[in-house]
A and B are shown apart, each in its own frame.
Chain A
Amino acid sequence: MKTNFNVTVSLWTLTVKEVRRFLRIWVQTLVPPAVTMSLYFVIFGSLIGPRIGSMDGFDYIQYMIPGLIMLSVITNSYNNVVSSFYSVKFQKSIEELLISPMPNWTILLGFVLGGVCRGVLIGIIVFGVSLLFYPDFTVANPLLTVTVLFLTSILFSLMGFINAVFADSFDDISIIPTFILTPLIYLGGVFYSINILPDVWRSISMANPMLYVVNTFREGMLGVSDVSISFSLGMIITFILVLSVSCLYLLKKGTGIRQ
């Protein structure tokens, strides 16, 4: 090779490839969350919401907005990486990366950045949709909101990567999002405060990791939370570090990608 290897170029290339992938299929990736969330806002916000009244001192539709944004960000970050990385395994285009001199950390970071770009973009789209239904919404703590948005997107992109590494079929990439991730998010305080639950269910809910993500984001957007923010942020960052090390270990070992 006559040109010296430039790691920044390789990382940029992979990230652009990942972003281009989900933009190319925007009807599948960007439109559905906007449509689904519009329906949530119409049914639960505008139609049923006024009958529910207030939640933690906020209009119900206003209370739902952070939860629905997180729901979209989590599922889209996760799905982007799990489907993209599994597809490159399935199509064997992973060989393009493995044969190249790209270090493992750039491969991981490229896929994660792709997931983060989609997650954050979806977050912005859903927030935009929510403003159509509640134009007076103001963000209480923009710095915390943006920080949690990015951290959550990184966390679930890493989880999607691990799922894809172990996946042997397309079923394997839908089982966890469908049967584990989505129920945990729904039960993690997207639609309600755990303060309205009986003591037993409230205690059980405290074991749901999604509760911390959703409530930390709600603290950023509304200034209210059912959990300790410093504890939640600490746990999110700890999980990001643990999952990053795990992903790098799997790449080095070649699990699921090298024979």
Chain B
Amino acid sequence: MAEYALEINNLQKVYDNNVVALKGIDLKVQKGDFYALLGPNGAGKSSTIGIIGSLVTKSAGKVSVFGNDIDTDLNKAKSMLGVVSQEINFSQFEKVLDIVVTQAGFYGIPKSIAMPKVENILKRLSLWDKRNDQARTLSGGYKRRLMIAKALIHEPQLLILDEPTAGVDIELRREMWSFLKEINKNGTTIILTTHYLEEAEQLCRNIGIIDKGTIVANTSMKDLLGTLNVQGFVFDLDQPLEEAPVIEGFPLKLEDPLTLVAAVNKDRSINALFSELTKLNIKIKSMRNEANRLEELFIEMVNANEN
């Protein structure tokens, strides 16, 4: 039994135009994990996913999906893998139902066996009512759902999603999160790339950050966020302020007259801040964490790699 859902060793990619996309990355994703692979544009995320899914030819290195080396057991590896690409990659002129049934057929699943699965997944993704619509008539959000339905129809054990919620409205994004959490809970290992760092923070247990073709961080989300020394809090005020109060040890800034933002060091108690605010007769209506903690770390790490 393979120990990892995905194992990458010294993966390198140099394109024909001599662009070096991957400089020998190593990555291991545990079975059942929900893993975030983050990085700025051009960092090498899509090249990595392309190589795993056989859409890009690697220059060197090893990739195994559930222990199946893509050089020697490619078809086994492919059978266990589902990929939701960044760009729409289905025929826009076919009907939704035909697209998913055809995809099942490409995995050797006859229509008679595929149909109950297709019905189930299209219903789960709210696409069943649109099953006879041509794909080109779907909105962007429904096209994204169709991409996910296609990738899941052969019940892959590893699902890779390359920016699945790009350009998707908040409601649909939340729906997708709930769906992905559910299939992960049911045993599917998920690797996600996204530019919405809040998404990674909400969904993923482990995280890899890639920049300029190298992995700059590969750890658990909890440990990574634990490295933050300062946490931001946003206070909604009862009465407007003209300027931010000055409280020693708690840098404060006023976003607008009714919104105060505080940076609280990990070794300080937030109760002390509340006491000081009460002394100044500043009443707080509500409080939330400043979005986005992961974003700060991400920028910090990518900047460090720049230098």
Q: Is the CB of A92 within 8 A of B56?
A: no
Interface size classification for chain A: 20 to 34
A87 to B90, CA, bound (A): 11
What DSSP secondary structure best describes chain B's contact surface? loop
Q: Is the CB of A9 within 8 A of B109?
A: yes
Give every chain B residue within 8 A of A17 (Cβ-Cβ). 102
Give every chain A residue within 8 A of B102 (Cβ-Cβ). 13, 17, 96
Q: Is the CB of B90 within 8 A of A9?
A: no
Please judge, given known A-B contacts A1-B80, A5-B108, whether A99 and B53 are in contact too, CB under 8 Å. yes
A1-34 contacts to B, CB under 8 A, are 1-7, 9-10, 12-14, 16-17, 20, 24
Report the minimum CB–CB distance from B204 to chain A (whole Å): 23
Please judge, given known A-B contacts A1-B155, A4-B108, whether A92 and B57 are in contact too, CB under 8 Å. no
Q: For chains A and B in complex, what number of residue pairs have CB atoms within 8 angstroms?
A: 98
A9 to B150, CA, bound (A): 17
Does B270 touch A at the CB level, under 8 Å? no
Give every chain B residue within 8 A of A246 (Cβ-Cβ). none
Does B275 touch A at the CB level, under 8 Å? no
A78-137 contacts to B, CB under 8 A, are 87-88, 91-103
Does A230 touch B at the CB level, under 8 Å? no
Please judge, given known A-B contacts A1-B154, A9-B110, whether A98 and B75 are in contact too, CB under 8 Å. no
Q: Is the CB of B105 within 8 A of A101?
A: no
Does A50 touch B at the CB level, under 8 Å? no
Indicate which residue in B54, B90, B109 contacts A3 across the interface (CB closer than 8 Å). B109
Does A258 touch B at the CB level, under 8 Å? yes
A residues with a Cβ closer than 8 A to B are 1-7, 9-10, 12-14, 16-17, 20, 24, 87-88, 91-103, 254, 258-259
Contacts beyond the supplied A5-B75, A99-B78, A101-B108: 5 A-B pairs with Cβ under 8 Å:
A93-B89, A96-B90, A96-B103, A101-B78, A259-B55
A-B contact pairs, 10 of them (CB 8 A): A3-B107, A3-B109, A9-B105, A9-B110, A91-B92, A93-B89, A95-B83, A97-B106, A100-B103, A102-B106
